[in-house]
Amino acid sequence: MLLLSGWHSIIAYAQPAGLREMRTEFIPEAGCPVSVSAARTEIEVDPFGTPLASRIYITYRNDSNKTMAGVRFRVRFVDETGQDRGTLQAPHASVVAPGSTGSEKWRHERVDPRASQLKIRVLMVKFTDGSVWQTSSMPEQTPGTAGPDGGSPVAPAPASVQAGSSK
Instruction: Provide the pLDDT for residue 137.
Output: 78
Chain CA centroid to CA 33, Å: 18
Rounded to an integer, what distance in angstroms lies between the CA atom of residue 140 and that of residue 155?
14
The structure's pTM equals 0.73
Pairing of strands 117-127, 18-26: parallel
| Residue-wise pLDDT tens digits, 48-106 | 989 999 999 999 999 999 999 999 999 999 999 999 999 999 999 999 999 999 999 99
Of residues 164 and 110, which shows the higher confidence score? 110
Could you tell me the domains of the chain? 18-134 (2.60.40)
Neighbours of 115 (CB within 10 A): 21
pLDDT digits (tens, 9 = 90+) for 117-162: 999 999 999 999 999 999 987 665 444 433 444 344 333 333 433 3
d(C-alpha 63, C-alpha 33), whole Å: 5
Model confidence at 47: pLDDT above 70: yes
- Confidence (pLDDT) at 165: 38
Query: What is the average per-residue pLDDT within 16-29?
Result: 91
- pLDDT value for 155: 37
Give pLDDT, residue 117. 96
Which pLDDT score is estimated for 140? 54
User: Which has the higher per-residue pLDDT, 11 or 20?
Assistant: 20
Q: Could you tell me if residue 40 is left (phi over 0), alpha (psi between -120 and 50 degrees) or otherwise beta?
A: beta
- In the 3-class helix/strand/coil scheme, how is the chain assigned residue by residue? CCCCCCCCCCCCCCCCCEEEEEEEEECCCCCCCEEEEEEEEEEEECCCCCEEEEEEEEEEEECCCCCEEEEEEEEEEECCCCCEEEEEEEEEEEEECCCCEEEEEEEECCCCCCCCEEEEEEEEEEECCCCEEECCCCCCCCCCCCCCCCCCCCCCCCHHHHCCCCC
Would residue 129 be called left, alpha or beta, if left means φ above 0 and alpha means ψ between -120 and 50 degrees? alpha
